Structure formats: structure tokens, C-alpha cells
Structure 1
Amino acid sequence: MAKIPEVGSKAPPFRLKRDGDGEVSLGDFKGRKLALYFYPKANTSGCTKEAIAFNGLRAAFAAADTDILGVSADPVKAQDSFKAKHDLAFPLGSDETHEMLEAYGVWGEKSMYGRKFMGITRATVLIDRDGTIARIWPKVKVDGHAEEVLKAAQDLP
């Protein structure tokens, strides 16, 4: 697994396909803070709970001048379905090539029930207005996580 960039380093640039057949890039958030969260698979229980938590706090994130972007390796069609099913009001990026996921150090070998496979580590990166990584949560536990990210975003200038 590639290494997660360090706090204080520039966030790796990206351009991804997103829900609704559009594109999303790091440059789209220039001058604003970004809560960039990575999730393993759309419509699974933990990922759904996490997305709903971020979505429920979107007004508070907006008040903190912070955008939210969820990213997984799911195809755009799966992202569209996930977004519609849970009425999510923020973009979902699709990185089927894993290039961006690798740049952020969240794509690599995982193990479950003794079986090894390639996948995404649930992680979040908070990026400041200048495109610098302000905070990293490398192994996220879903309960209370969105609130913790919000607090960190509120504390950033």
C-alpha cells in the first residue's frame, strides 16, 4: 500500500469521474476547505452509515466553509444509485483506475476472514484552503467520525 501523504504536504491533485456523469477535481475546491473521505463500497452498511452522517452535517460543514467529497472505486453507475437511494447532497468520485486512491495511500492489500484482497482503507483527509493536508484520519471508525471531521474543519481558519 502506498503511504498516506503527511500533514503539511500539498494534497495530491486529482480529476475523477463523479456521480451524474460529471468530473470533480481538487482544483474545484480551491479557496475552500475539503473533507475528502474514502469509503470501500457503496451501499454497504458501514459506508451507508458514514455517508448519511456526513450528509446530515452538510449545513454545518457549509457554515465552516468546507465541502465534502466521498471517493471509492465503485463505477459511476453505482455512485449514482448510492447517492439517489440515500439522498446525498455532496459529490461522489469514482476512481476505478485506483490512481488517486494510490496517491492518497488508501488502496492496497486488505485481509478479511483470512482472505487477502485489494481494496480501500476507510480514511479521511481534511484539506485546507491552500490545498495543504491539515488533518488525516488513516483508519476510520464510522461512529462519531463525521462529527470529529466537522470539529476539525471548524477549528481551521
Structure 2
Amino acid sequence: MTDIDKIQLRTEPYESEEARVLLDQKGCGAVLWFEGVMKEVLADGTRVSQLDWDAYQSMALKSLNELRDRAIHEFDLKDLILIHRIDTQFPGDLIMTLGVSSERRKGAIAAIGWFMDELKQLAPLWKREKLVEGKERWVEGEPES
């Protein structure tokens, strides 16, 4: 498997187990997973019926692979994988899976949060929320505080 296969943008649903086989875990003491699932009710109480994801795919893959390389070097990771859907999702659907492996937990834990914040700010991925009351809105990526 090449490193290019470690970052995937998919237009079809997938199972968590598909991501697990992509991550090199040999000799690692820390393996962490983050799965993003579509929420129906946002923090402000807004109800969302559907998410539509879009991407400038070639740029997104380039950007995400650069982030992957940075994370591996800055956090001393053995590996990092990402599968992200770029299609329509509904409440409860799996949107993305991020996995990291490392000899030690500290770098792996820090890498998950860092990668998610960077992904939301830098990757050319766009999300449109379709609200239960019929309105639609595009969402800008901002890291969580």
C-alpha cells in the first residue's frame, strides 16, 4: 500500500473496519481512532436533516497528504490514515475516520486534535447543511476550542 492510499475521499458509505486495515500499527504502543458521525441536533439546537459535502478533490488530496506528512513528523507518528466522505449524509452516518499510530500515546493524542483543526481550516472541503425547517447554509470550517 502506498502512502497516497492513506488519505481517501469517498463518494460511497464505508464501514469502520475498512479504515482499520489501512493503518500501520506494527510496534506501536498507541493506536487512536476518531470517527465523525453526522449529528441531527447542533450545539445551538439547530436541527439538520442532511449534509452535503463537496471538495476540490485534487487539491484536497494534496493538502491532506501534506497535513499527514506534517503530523507524522511533528508528533512522531508511525502512521496516519483518513477516510472522508464527500457526498450526502444523514443523521447517524459515518462521515470520516481518522486513525493514528505511534510508539507513545502523547504524540498520538495531540496529533488527532491538531489534524482535525488543520483539516477544518486548510483542506478545500465544503459542507452544506440542510436544516429541518427547509433552509440551507454553507458552513465554514473552524477548529473547536
Instruction: Give the TM-score normalised by structure 1.
Output: 0.30
In proportion to residue count, which structure has more strand?
A: 2
The higher radius of gyration belongs to 2
TM-score normalized by the length of structure 2:
0.31
